[in-house]
Amino acid sequence: MLVVSPSLPLPFATADSRWTHLLVRELAHAGFDLAVLAISRDGAPEVARARSRMGEYGVRFAHAPFQVDHRTVTRKARSLLRPNSEYLMGSAARATFELEAARAKWVHVETLHPARLLPTTGTPGSVHVHQLDEIDWQLAAGLRWRWRRLRARRSSRQVLALPDVILTHSESVLAHVRSYATARAECLPIGIDTRMYVRVGSGGRRLRAGIIGSMFWHPSAMAARHAALRVWPKVRRSLPDAELFVAGWGADRCLADLRSLPGITVQSDLSCPSEFFGAVDVLLYLPGGGTGAKVKVLESLAYGLPVVTDRYGAEGLVQEGVPPVIVVANDDEAAQNVVRLLMNAGERERLARRGRDFLEEHHGPRVVAKYWAPVLQDVLAR
């Protein structure tokens, strides 16, 4: 089986990279005969690390640069008909894909857009849909966002008509997928490697909650603004010294206006995620919309942080055993729960233990063998 990813399969990198690494490692341990093709803009040192890591698992690795051969005008013209079709416009990536896919019995593609490559060979395949842009951008106002949503919807309908099997880890994504496509579609839980996360503990710090994310991504920026503008003033009425730590790529640029608000710190450059998770006592994440499992919620549980979120932030969590996150219905409930947790180290510790145990049971490495391997074995046996 060939696994195609837009990210290098590495344990310490982006969320997509970490998931692909976990998926490949656990499938290899389960006896799958695997090859990996990463199509990305990464440089030679990062590619060499991924190749070495895959070699440790007995997995053949190939890399192709993600680049578009066509001029901007041509690319934009083609994108009008086939939005997000850049993976078809790079000759190196396309040629490498065709070569690797010809050797495989099945092609599994991580994320939606690279799946446009599937029809270039006769090899059957599946796609793992992490989220859908047209749904995630519904809260964004203006003509520009409306145009983006229309393009995203058109792209999703086109791409989801290509694979033989569609996999996702979100019930909301599954519902939309089934309205777009007739292919077999299943919802499987996503996992993270809990061994990579050391508990940060609780207590002994300032009264501080936080939110982290790539703030160039509209849903993350909206969630940060929601926390800062609508919830945090309510928290500070009860706890005047409480602080909200807003962190992540693009935070300084996209959320610069929040810096002037009392009790709010905004920071873009973090040496590693644990720098954020070790500096806060509660994750406050209220996206108000969107699709897909939220990796920041899974990582908070792995680090031992309690989570206050809404139903969208809790999406993708296995419901068996009741996820140990506090799901709120409005801003008042969010503020009340944040205040309660900041004031109660014992409650934070109880939730931290439950969260870690829940994660290891339902979203740890074993999810690959328990849920993903049987489905992929079934399609390979066809």
How far is C-alpha 303 from the geometric centre of its chain's CA atoms? 17
* Res. 202: pLDDT tops 70: no
pTM of the model: 0.92
- Give the whole-angstrom CA distance, residue 364 versus residue 344: 28
Residue 240 pLDDT class (50, 70, 90 cuts):
very high
Angle among Cα 361, 106, 317 to the nearest 5 degrees reads 25
pLDDT of res. 80: 75
- What's the CA dihedral at 49, 52, 57, 59 to 10 degrees? 100
Asked whether residue 257 carries a pLDDT value surpassing 90, the answer given is yes
Q: Tell me, what's the pLDDT at 87? A: 86
What are the chain's domains?
2-191+365-380 (3.40.50.2000), 195-362 (3.40.50.2000)
* pLDDT-derived band at 336, boundaries 50, 70, 90: very high
Query: Mean per-residue pLDDT for 42-57?
Result: 97
pLDDT above 70 for 201: no
SS3 337: helix
Question: Using N-to-C axis directions, what is the helix angle for 331-343 and 345-362, rounded to 10°?
Answer: 110
pLDDT of residue 99: 96
Residue 321, pLDDT score: 60
pLDDT band at 123 (very low <50, low <70, confident <90, very high): very high
Residue of higher predicted confidence among 88 and 20:
20
Q: Does residue 205 carry a pLDDT above 60?
A: no
pLDDT band at 139 (very low <50, low <70, confident <90, very high): confident
What does the alpha-carbon distance between residue 109 and residue 304 come to, in Å, rounded to a whole number?
Answer: 32
For residue 34, pLDDT beyond 60: yes
What mean pLDDT comes out for the span 297-309? 94
Closest CA to 306 of 167, 157, 176, 199: 199
* pLDDT value of residue 75: 67
Residue 257 C-alpha from the chain's centroid: 27
Strand-pairing partners, residue 83, are none
Confidence band of 71 (pLDDT split at 50, 70, 90): low
Token readout for 367 is 């999810």
**Rg value, the chain, Cα:** 21
pLDDT computed for residue 318 by the predictor: 84
Separation of CA 287 from chain center: 14
The pLDDT assigned to 237 comes to: 97
The b-or-e profile of 321-358 (16+ CB within 10 A means b, else e) is: eebbbbbbeebeebbbbbbebbebeeebeebbebbbeb
pLDDT confidence of residue 195: 86
Q: Are residues 307 and 358 in contact, defined by beta-carbon separation less than 8 angstroms?
A: no
pLDDT score for 204: 55
Let me know: does 298 contact 313? Beta carbons within 8 Å.
no
Distance CA 283, CA 190 (A): 20
Tens-place pLDDT, residues 267-280: 998 888 889 999 99
